[in-house]
Amino acid sequence: MNAEYAYTRKRMHFGKRCNFSDSDKTEMEVKSNPALMSNYVRKDPVTHATQFGKIYAVHEINTTTATYKDNKMFHYEGGWPKDINMKDLEQTVRYRRKIEKDELYIHTMLQLLPSMEHCILQNNACNIYEQYFADVEANPLIQRAFSRTVNVYRDPLTTKRQIAHLSWSPDQGNRFAASYCNDDFKKSSSGNYASYIWEVENPNNPYMMLKPFCPILTLEYNPKDSNILIGGLATGQVACWDIRRGSEAVDISSVEFSHRDPCDNILWINSKTGTDFFSASKDGQIKWWDTRKMQIPTETLVMDLLKPEDQNVDKAIGISALQFEPSIGTRFMCGLENGIVISGNRKGKTPGEKIATRFKAQYGPVISLERNPTFVKNFLTVGDWTSRIWSEDCRESCIAWTPGHRDFLTGGAWSVTRYSVYYLIKTDGTLDVWDFLIQQDSPVLSVKVCDESLTCLRPHEQGQLAAVANKKGSTYLLEFSEALTVNQKNDKLLLTALLDRETRREKVIEAKNREQRLKMKTLKMHGETDFADASSKPDEREDAKESSDSLRNLLIAQCEQEYENIINTELTRQVEASNVELNNNVMQNDAIIS
């Protein structure tokens, strides 16, 4: 049995709280005691070091000890003996001969040569190209040429259309306009003929859409106003857009005063008002316009080369390329469908004076025509399978040309910043970059942009970028390396010398050809005289004519046979190459399966 007893006590009898007040305080003063200094003991601080880095071993090696002795001597004061006057050439020569004849001269030189040879060999053993810092990339002696695709701008429509023309905006090139048109007439009846303006930084959605009533074949920004554009339409008319006023054209030319064929070439003219431009078409007409009055052209020029004064449109030759250089003023150039380039002067009083200068440039239509931005006397023509560089001083032949390409060329343009570089685009989707200062027989860079045919090329004004369009409505923005965009120190002088040398060479050849033609003409005239004297012998004339005809037919047949043999050889080579590739693929598949 557990007995428990609880003791109780009131709270007031224990744990009494303390009461503090201001009056209940104690003040005291503690004075310093010098005697306490003897109880103070100073402890020296203890330093402990830690090492977290790698510990490397130290390797030392002793080299050949070199003893140096400083001997200062002025040759003017003590280099020669006192009895020799150093300014007297005869005395110095006599003293050298005396020293060389001394018996100890050879032994002294043999003792001095080993130490000097050691220093020379040591200097030769030093590699001046050695890289002492592995983390720093060395600059190559020859810069490598390369390019990369920055952005791709695709046609928003489901029905893909080819891009016929590109134009960069003048405000630092932040935008570019692309004209979309369908080259197939059967598929172009959908009714959507929109073209677009793209921003460089936004490849997903176009910046603005232009809505014409028919396809736009060409678009050009006004070089003085980035809000104004002009375009050539498939109906032959020209139109003007102001993007501040919407996507519809603000003014269109009249049909009866426009081109008969689609207007596919249009360029601005350098004028004070900034409203003048001119257009060209396959109908063989060049028309000058003013955006302030676009119903009627201000001037018209017909490319009737046989009788320029008649201005007969029915006999005009179609214009396939157009060019204007702002620094020259009234001069313009146009490429025709028969391969002739016309260098015209708008100040000519008659049509014959306006188209007086002619160049037989290509065998087919002139696809691209452009002057060099720095050397304006030289221009580039692109057509058929070759590109050629011409000089205005040589009219009969070009001064430089590229070898024939396997694929058809569809365009070309000079680099805006580097003098000697120009670009070519082809139907196989390849862009070739040529630099005539480096090599003339092959491009310095060949880029496979896409699998479709390239239709248009436009370099950026700063030279580093270029917009390339293809047949499926895609635009590729390419960036080139400094080797293709930046001029070196002597590039201008070297290119000037190259162009002058080739121009002089072609002038000499032209002079020889003219002399040869003059001789042939003289011989022909004598032959005709002899032929007239021998008119009493008709049988001999008939025999000579028949023999010349048979010889000509034989040569033509021989050329045709050689051409056919070349084609058959190439086809056989392609078939053999495809068979070899097919066999290799089959062997690889068998190896994978096994």
User: What number of other Cβ atoms are within 10 A of residue 426's Cβ?
Assistant: 20
211 backbone dihedrals φ, ψ, rounded to 5°: -115, 95
Poorest-confidence range of 408-417, 478-487, 516-525, 539-548?
539-548
Residue with more model confidence, 221 or 587: 221
Measured CA distances, 18 to 21, 211, 323, 361 (Å): 10, 96, 108, 118
Task: Please determine, for residue 280, whether its predicted confidence score (pLDDT) is greater than 80.
Answer: yes
Task: Please determine, for residue 77, whether its predicted confidence score (pLDDT) is greater than 50.
Answer: no
Residue 540 host element (H or E): helix 538-593
The pLDDT of residue 118 is 86
Mean pLDDT along residues 293-306:
86
Cβ atoms of 450 and 469 closer than 8 Å: no
Copy the structure tokens of residue 187. 């598929």
Q: Which of 441, 438, 424, 445 has its CA nearest to residue 495?
A: 438
Q: How far apart are CA 274 and CA 271, in angstroms?
A: 5
Task: Please determine, for residue 76, whether its predicted confidence score (pLDDT) is greater than 70.
Answer: no
The pLDDT of residue 423 is 92
The pLDDT of residue 204 is 87
What distance lies between CA 448 and its chain's CA centroid? Answer: 15
Copy the structure tokens of residue 295. 């119903």
Mean pLDDT along residues 291-320:
85
Task: Please determine, for residue 53, whether its predicted confidence score (pLDDT) is greater than 80.
Answer: no
The pLDDT of residue 134 is 62
| SS3 labels along 248-306 | CCCEECCCCCCCCCCEEEEEECCCCCCCEEEEEECCCEEEEEECCECCCCCEEEECCCC
Q: Is 345 helix (H, G, I), strand (E, B) or coil?
A: strand
Task: Please determine, for residue 142, whether its predicted confidence score (pLDDT) is greater than 70.
Answer: no
Across the chain, mean pLDDT equals: 81
Measured CA distances, 283 to 44, 301, 351 (Å): 105, 11, 17
The pLDDT of residue 467 is 92
The pLDDT of residue 324 is 87
Q: Which of 476, 460, 454 has its CA nearest to residue 414?
A: 460
The pLDDT of residue 536 is 44
The pLDDT of residue 24 is 58
Measured CA distances, 118 to 109, 111, 125 (Å): 14, 12, 11
Q: Which long-range contacts (CB under 8 A, 24 or more apart) does 256-262 make?
A: 257/295, 257/296, 257/297, 258/287, 259/283, 259/285, 259/287, 260/236, 260/285, 260/313, 261/236, 261/318, 262/217, 262/232, 262/233, 262/234, 262/235, 262/236
Copy the structure tokens of residue 486. 């930046």
The pLDDT of residue 476 is 92
Q: How far apart are CA 77 and CA 92, in angstroms?
A: 15
Q: How far apart are CA 162 and CA 217, in angstroms?
A: 10
User: What number of other Cβ atoms are within 10 A of residue 245's Cβ?
Assistant: 10
Half-sphere exposure of 151 (CA within 13 A, CB side): 15
Q: How far apart are CA 278 and CA 268, in angstroms?
A: 6
Beta strands in 346-416 (DSSP E): 357-360, 366-371, 378-383, 386-391, 400-401, 409-414
Q: Which of 477, 475, 435 has its CA nearest to residue 454?
A: 475
Q: How far apart are CA 362 and CA 44, in angstroms?
A: 97
Mean pLDDT along residues 551-574:
84
Cβ atoms of 209 and 219 closer than 8 Å: no
The pLDDT of residue 136 is 59
The pLDDT of residue 257 is 87
The pLDDT of residue 138 is 55
Rg, C-alpha atoms of the chain: 44
Tokens 């620094």 belong to residue: 327
Task: Please determine, for residue 439, whether its predicted confidence score (pLDDT) is greater than 90.
Answer: no
Task: Please determine, for residue 468, whether its predicted confidence score (pLDDT) is greater than 90.
Answer: yes
User: What CATH topology corresponds to 147-489?
Assistant: Methylamine Dehydrogenase; Chain H (2.130.10)
20 backbone dihedrals φ, ψ, rounded to 5°: -110, 145
Copy the structure tokens of residue 512. 């020889």
The pLDDT of residue 21 is 66
Poorest-confidence range of 15-19, 245-249, 492-496?
15-19
Cβ atoms of 464 and 477 closer than 8 Å: no
Q: Which of 222, 237, 235, 165 has its CA nearest to residue 195?
A: 165
* Confidence band for 190, pLDDT divided at 50, 70 and 90: low
Question: pLDDT digits over 151-187, tens only?
Answer: 899 888 888 888 889 999 988 778 899 998 876 655 5
Conformation bin of residue 71: beta by default, left when phi > 0, alpha when psi is -120 to 50: beta
Cβ atoms of 397 and 388 closer than 8 Å: no
Q: Which of 389, 394, 423, 391 has its CA nearest to residue 409?
A: 423
Mean pLDDT along residues 442-452:
89
Strands 162-168 and 147-153: unpaired
Q: How far apart are CA 422 and CA 293, in angstroms?
A: 37
Percent with pLDDT over 90 in the chain: 7
The pLDDT of residue 424 is 92
